[in-house]
């Protein structure tokens, strides 16, 4: 299928909500990558023993789709037909929709998580699965930011469909339910505005979904992402973490040193994933994962 056919097919929703058969609800883990999933041994450890509760989809550069890349077996054959993606361009949003559309074709997928090759899980599979499945909200970060890197990226020609006070910013790394996923792949109105006008440092990936969800589905959204990232050093990209950065204390801090709301109650589990981790960090991540992240449970 081409993109138009794929989006059309994945947007179909049965009018009868109750399924006439039983399914095991799954979480779709969707990896938007440049090439291979470089931390795949960690993800293999994470997924081990939980077959039937997850699906995996990988959108990488087209040149990697048919290459013989040495990576964990769980990612073998999980690449979807893809197109080239450029940082900050609207084709990154199109790639996200392509991942969602492929994942929606499986009726068992009920939660959808967007990840990069630099992401890691902070908890074991059972904890993350339960947290996502039991949530009454979606997790799309969305906030109003004055200044050049927020409202300054708005294009006046987007009005009246999108007005400046409606313009939002947020992380592209989302965690959403099936209903919202269908709405995202079905949208042509807002995407076409971004395709026409969100160019030249507009950073569509940081604004399309936060704006779309804020305008249409704010009541179902938490306004935050479950993926931790460190912007404290400033610049256009978040901090990267190498081998020397990985300690038990650092991972424990990411897991619990926060406070947020989950299903109307306060919790210290505010992030289920984190980025950006380099392949050099893999050996120590594998060393600490069984005990700190409790991957063996």
Task: For the chain, list the domains and their CATH numbers.
Answer: 3-225 (3.90.550)
pLDDT, the chain, mean: 92
Please provide residue 264's backbone torsions phi and psi, each rounded to the nearest 5 degrees: 85, 0
Helices (H) and strands (E) in the chain, counts: 9, 9
Separation between Cα atoms, residue 228 and residue 272, nearest integer Å: 8
Q: What share of the chain is helix, strand, coil (3-state, %, to 5)?
A: 40, 15, 45
> Which pLDDT does position 146 carry in this prediction?
94
> Which pLDDT does position 257 carry in this prediction?
79
Q: What is the pLDDT of residues 43-72, one digit of tens each?
A: 999 999 999 999 999 999 888 765 555 567
pTM score: 0.94
Q: What is the pLDDT of residues 211-261, one digit of tens each?
A: 999 999 999 999 999 999 997 776 667 889 999 999 999 999 999 878 999
Separation between Cα atoms, residue 140 and residue 175, nearest integer Å: 7
* pLDDT cut 90: percent of the chain above it: 75
> Which pLDDT does position 113 carry in this prediction?
98
Q: What's the average model confidence in pLDDT over 66-83?
A: 76
């Amino acid at each position: 299928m081409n993109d138009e056919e794929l989006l059309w097919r994945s947007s179909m929703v049965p009018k009868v909500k109750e399924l006439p058969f039983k399914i095991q609800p799954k979480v779709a883990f969707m990896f938007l990558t440049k090439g291979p999933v470089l931390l795949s041994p960690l993800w293999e450890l994470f997924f081990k023993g939980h077959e039937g509760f997850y699906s995996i989809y990988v959108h990488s550069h087209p040149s990697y789709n048919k290459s013989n890349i040495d990576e964990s077996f769980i990612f073998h054959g999980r690449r979807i037909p893809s197109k080239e993606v450029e940082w900050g361009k609207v084709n990154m949003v199109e790639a996200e929709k392509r991942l969602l559309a492929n994942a929606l074709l499986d009726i068992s997928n009920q939660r959808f998580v967007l990840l990069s090759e630099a992401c890691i899980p902070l908890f074991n599979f059972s904890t993350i699965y339960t947290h996502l499945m039991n949530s009454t909200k979606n997790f799309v970060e969305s906030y109003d930011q004055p200044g050049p890197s927020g409202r300054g990226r708005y294009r006046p020609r987007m009005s009246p469909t999108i007005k400046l006070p409606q313009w939002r910013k947020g992380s592209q790394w989302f965690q959403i339910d099936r209903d919202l996923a269908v709405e995202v792949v079905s949208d042509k109105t807002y995407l076409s505005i971004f395709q026409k006008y969100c160019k030249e440092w507009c950073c569509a990936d940081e604004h399309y979904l936060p704006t779309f969800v804020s305008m249409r589905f704010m009541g179902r959204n938490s306004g935050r992402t479950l993926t931790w990232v460190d912007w404290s050093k400033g610049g256009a990209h978040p901090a990267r973490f190498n081998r020397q950065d990985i300690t038990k204390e650092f991972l424990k801090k990411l897991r619990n040193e926060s406070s947020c709301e989950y299903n109307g109650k306060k919790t210290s589990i505010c992030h289920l994933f984190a980025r950006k981790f380099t392949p050099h960090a893999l050996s120590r991540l594998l060393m600490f994962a069984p005990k700190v992240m409790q991957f063996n449970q």
